[in-house]
Amino acid sequence: MQVLQVQLEVGPDPAEVGRARRWARSRMAGSGIGEDEPLAETLVLLISELVTNAVVHTGCPAVLRMLFGGGGVRVEVADTSDRPPRPRHAEGEDTNGRGLELVDGLADRWGWQREGAGKSIWCEVDRAPAAESVASVSPSRVRC
């Protein structure tokens, strides 16, 4: 299995989140993920949340990595803060506290690990089967 890994250094500035999204879109296009695919929008949203968390909650530079291969995409954001991620629960009109809930709801898997003096938060999204292969399944073979 061949895996393509690309990475971007992200400064500790909220404006870097937009730059990370644009960079990720161009890397997805280069790896064969179309701009209009649902996978692309899901990945951009996940990247936005993880980079925002790194920039806002740590105030440290970070590294965004994308790994393409094996039937899906892995996104990692590593920073130099040794504080583990702390999922929170937003209430009502709260403007913060939904990021990791969103990651949990959109990603197929996610987690974090120590990396050097800091940590890496990662998530994985599996590629959906091509529409042709879904359409070629005979209705008589589908059971509900």
Q: What is the DSSP string of 104-132?
A: HHH-SEEEEEEETTEEEEEEEEEPPPPHH
Q: What's the predicted TM-score (pTM) here?
A: 0.83
Contacts of 104 (CB under 8 A, 6+ apart): 87, 110
Question: Strand pairing partners for 5?
Answer: 67
CA angle 79, 21, 62 (to 5 degrees): 10
H helical segments located in the chain: 16-30, 38-58, 99-106, 131-135
Instruction: Give the pLDDT confidence score for residue 100 in this predicted structure.
Output: 85
pLDDT tens track for 49-102? 999 999 988 888 999 999 999 889 999 999 999 888 877 776 666 556 677 888
pLDDT at 96: 66
Where along the chain do its domains lie? 4-141
Q: Where does 4-141 sit in CATH, by number? A: 3.30.565.10
* pLDDT one-digit tens code per residue, 10-35: 999 999 999 999 999 999 999 999 98
